[in-house]
Amino acid sequence: MTHTLLAFHAHPDDEALLTSGTMARAAAEGHRVVVVVATDGELGLASQEYAGDGTLGSRRMDELHRSAEALGVARVEHLGYADSGLSPALEPDPPGRTRFVRVDTEVAAQRLAAILREEQADVLLSYERNGGYGHQDHKKVHAVGRRAAEIAETPMLLEATVPRDTICRAIDLAARLYHFPPEFDRSSFDRAFSARTEITHRINVTRHIAAKRASMLAHASQASADGGADRTLAAFLRIPRPLYDLVFGREWFIDPAAGPDDPIRHDIFHGLP
């Protein structure tokens, strides 16, 4: 039996880093895959080549569509909110749109729930409570995703994460070969994402690593920087295979409904009819 998987993300490129392997695997197995982003990522960091003309948001949505094509995604949607940015001091709302972090959670959840119902989604992928590395839009995705799953009565909600000890080891290993950009804060990962004991799903995506890498490559603006400096995504893409496969060959999720003694699952659709 085939199912429908809907992945909810804050910005274009988030899907590439957190869930692209799982999405590619589901699509390759014949399931319907949908990706929804809350914002167009217009306040993301990028070189003047991409951001100088004020059209970064539309460029990033184009990149999302190229990423989706590489992954076998059937549908891409934008909830219509504006990027909140990295600064705690929010910029004014652009004309006709609201910064995502300012939006009432119930209102945003109703928008997402409408898509979940339309698609009759079996699984919603969202974020764990830390929002990964703590971006305010990522934390908002966590809250909106949980509420939307309740409203739409989606059978399964899984929250994307990374076991923090694993990502710290991977970063330290990569740092022996590559110099991360100045904005990269290694210490932030000591308190980011999730403890290994919280993980309920560990998904092997090594057979779909080429699609995952293509998804990352699609987001060229987010690998760009002025002055010749590397961005984090660019540094990841410089990792040679098979080291790249080792670092990115697994994806992890938390099932909020799972019990403390439940075994680790290796299939995103485990438990569905």
Cβ 129 vs Cβ 192: under 8 Å: no
Residue 271 domain-assigned (yes or no): no
For residue 75, the model assigns a pLDDT of 98
Residue 107 domain-assigned (yes or no): yes
Q: How many CB atoms lie within 10 A of CB 256?
A: 14
Strands (E), 24-83: 32-39, 75-81
Burial class from Cβ neighbours inside 10 Å (0-12, 13-18, 19+) for residue 59 reads buried
Residues 6 or more apart whose CB falls under 8 angstroms from that of 26 comprise 3, 5, 33, 268, 269
Residue 194 domain-assigned (yes or no): yes
Residue 215 domain-assigned (yes or no): yes
For residue 37, the model assigns a pLDDT of 98
Count of the separate structural domains present in the chain: 1
pLDDT tens-digit series, residues 211-253: 999 999 999 999 998 876 668 898 889 888 888 998 899 999 9
Better pLDDT: 193 or 183: 193
- SS3 for 224? coil
Residue 262 domain-assigned (yes or no): no
- SS3 for 271? coil
pLDDT above 80: residue 112? yes
CATH of the domain at 51: 3.40.50.10320
Confirm whether pTM is higher than 0.85.
Answer: yes
pLDDT tens-digit series, residues 123-168: 999 999 988 888 999 999 999 999 999 999 999 999 999 998 877 8
Share of the chain above pLDDT 70, in %: 98
| Structural domain for 179, as ranges | 4-254
What's the mean pLDDT in 182-211? Answer: 88
Share of the chain above pLDDT 90, in %: 74
Q: How many CB atoms lie within 10 A of CB 232?
A: 17
Residue 156 domain-assigned (yes or no): yes
Residue 166 domain-assigned (yes or no): yes
Residue 268 domain-assigned (yes or no): no
For residue 226, the model assigns a pLDDT of 84
How sure is the predictor about 178, in pLDDT bands with cuts at 50, 70 and 90? low
pLDDT tens-digit series, residues 65-81: 999 999 999 999 999 99
Place of tokens 């403890």: 195
The percent helix, strand, coil of the chain (3-state, each to 5) is 45, 15, 35
Nearest-angstrom CA–CA distance, 38 and 52 = 23
Average pLDDT, the chain: 93
- Count Cα atoms within 13 angstroms, Cβ side, for 62: 8
For residue 230, the model assigns a pLDDT of 66
pLDDT above 70: residue 203? yes
